[in-house]
Structure formats: C-alpha cells, structure tokens
Amino acid sequence: MKLTRALAGAAVLSLCLLLAVQPEAVAAAAAGGKVESTVRTEVVKAIRADPSVGPALIRLVFHDCWVNGCDGSVLLDTTPFNSSAGVEKAAANNIGLRGFDVIDAIKAKLGDSVSCADIVVLAGRDAAAILSRGRITYAVETGRKDGVVSSAAAADATLPESTFHIDQLTDNFARKNFTAEELVALAGAHAVGVSHLSSFRDRINATTRTPIDPRYQAALAGDVEALKGRQNSTDPIEKFNIRDMDAGFRNASGFDAAGVDMAAVGVLDNSFYHANLQNMVLLRSDWELRNGTDPSLSDSLFAFRDNATVWEMEFAAAMAKLSELPAEGTRFEIRKSCRATN
C-alpha cells in the first residue's frame, strides 16, 4: 500500500514537473491530439456515408504532394496568381478527383490554426487505415503551410499519366526520389477506387491495347457499354479491382481468386497484385509494372502478391514519404478556406 501511494505520488510529481518545465510541449501535444482525433472522426463519418470517398482521399494525397510538394494547392478553386490558367482541379490528369467536401468539413472544425495541406495528408492516412481494416498505419508530421499557386498545366506536366510506359513511370518517380519498388507499392492503392473510361480506353481498343487477358478485356468492354447507359455518360467510371466486380464478371474473365479474400470488397489489400499478374488491371500504367527491365519491379510484384504484410509495410512507408514531400515556392499561408487563398 505504501509502495502504491509512493508510486502515485511520484507520478503526480513527474506530471507537475513536466507541466512546469514544458508547458508549450504539453499544449502542443494536446492540440495535436485534438487535430488528429477531429480528422479521424470526420473521415470515419464520411466513409460510413459514402465508402467511395475513402479511396478518393488517398488519391488526393498523391495528387497534391506530387505537384509542388504537399501544399494543399490541389484544393484551390481560384487563385489570383494564375488567373489566366486553370487550377490543378482542371487538369486532365486530375479527372474524377474527389473528397474536397470532406477536407472542407474538417477545416470547418479545426479553423485557421491548421493548414489545408496538413488536413489532406492526415485524412489520406486515416482513410488508408480504415480501408485496410487497421493494417496500414504510419506517422506523419504536421506543420505544413498552404501554397498560393495552383496550375492545371503544372499538374498535367508533373503527374504520371495512365498511358505511361514503364520507362516514363520510373523516370517520373525517380525525379521525386522514389524507387521502382516504391512505385510498385503505391500502385497497390488501385485495389480500391474507380477510373474513368477515358483513362483506360486504350486497354480495350483492339488497335491500342497492351497485353491484357482476352476474357477480361471482353468482359470489361461489355461492362463499359452497360455502364454508359446506367450512368448516362460517354465516360463512365469502372471499378479498379476485379475482386470487387460481380461473380458473373469474374467468371467470364476466368479470374483466379486463389489467395484473395473475396469477401473483402472495397478493402485496401494486396489483391491488386493478384489481378496484375493475371493481366487483369484497368490501366496501361499498372500493366507496365510487369514490363520493365529493372528486376525490382517484377520482384516486388510477386513479393507483394505473396505476402500481404510486406506490401502493407512498404505501402505505409511510401505513403509516409509521399506525405513529407516539401512544398515548393516562396509564398505560403494557412488558408481560411481550403478553396481560396487568403
């Protein structure tokens, strides 16, 4: 009993000393905890209301940070610094970008003390954790500021295109100091989410298609035609992952589900690599991962297919690295609205 009271007294004394010596650190930790819990709460709420927003938030991290670093520039609707050109949202490579309303909701809760750039990376991290059922986690620092320039031309010049060949992909990633293995790891995000037909049309066109399983190609072409009617669009959206298609589609494609959790619809896992190694992926850029001379490309594809834990760790590390790409530019601020400069 005396020992228990002594230990309790020591703990109280230690806390008092910490408060006395490092009040700023304690306050910062408390504020940081509030920021993270607020982001998590809003992301959970958004995904419960619309599961498709989870992949969109992960994608938003890449599309923001890859262009001039993590500066929230992808969120801007207008900016006086490039009034003669479109903002990043208008870029061809940003077709279908979503999740802006979730970022707005988080910003409304946190106010002017937290940058939009920080919110983007935190929301993307939490979305990855939720969609992977808690298997993908990583730490990110905060303290970013928001950029004031957003250019559609810059986004189209910087982001990798869905039709890139493998040399273009590896060169694009090398310019950001990312390895071929990290390229393959990040591509695993295509286990979830959707793509517009315009991004994979070349894969189902008889004159332009890269090697693709013919049964999968036929099923995909037929599904796209049906989607045009259901979505009333000439550029419908299709699910990335064959695992998430209905049984009729999978059977028509001849998909080998060995090693894939077929009940994990919408889950961020290593199923992308199972589909890729069967030539059953939407984008040319995904298929091209099989096509390079760098042995780490092929080695990574098989390693990630055969060991989900290895991929989860590599994906988490690559996302953390992506989230720390430094903002480029000379003028920054913490925006009052994520959609406009102050």
Q: Which residue is listed with tokens 């273009």?
A: 168
- Which of 262, 259, 256 shows the shortest CA–CA distance to 311? 259
Strands 237-239, 146-147: pairing kind: unpaired
Q: Is 140 annotated as a binding residue?
A: no
165 annotated as a binding-site residue: no
User: Is 274 part of any known ligand binding site?
Assistant: no
**DSSP secondary structure code for residue 69 in this structure:** S
DSSP 269-318: STHHHHHHTTT--S-HHHHGGGS-S-HHHHHHHHHHHH-HHHHHHHHHHH
Cβ-count burial 209-238 (b if 16+ within 10 Å, e if not)? bbebbeebbebbeebbeebeeeeeeeebbb
Tell me: is residue 259 an annotated ligand-binding position.
Answer: no
Q: How many other C-beta atoms lie within 10 A of the C-beta of residue 285? A: 24
196 is in an annotated binding site: no
Residue 269 annotated as part of some ligand binding site: yes
Catalytic residue among 63, 165, 196, 274: 63
Q: Is 295 annotated as a binding residue?
A: no
Pairwise CA distance, residues 194 & 119, whole Å: 23
Q: Is 202 annotated as a binding residue?
A: no
Are the C-beta atoms of 159 and 73 separated by less than 8 Å?
A: no
Q: Is residue 261 marked as binding? A: yes
Active-site annotation holds for 274: no
Cα torsion angle, 191, 192, 193, 197, sign? positive
Q: Is 39 annotated as a binding residue?
A: no
Can you read off the two tokens belonging to residue 115? 């940058």
Tell me the binding residues for substrate. 160
Q: Any idea which residues carry the catalytic annotation?
A: 63
Name the binding residues for Ca(2+): 64, 67, 69, 71, 73, 88, 261, 269
| Residue ranges of the binding site | 64, 67, 69, 71, 73, 88, 160, 190, 261, 269
| Residue numbering of the annotated binding site for heme b | 190
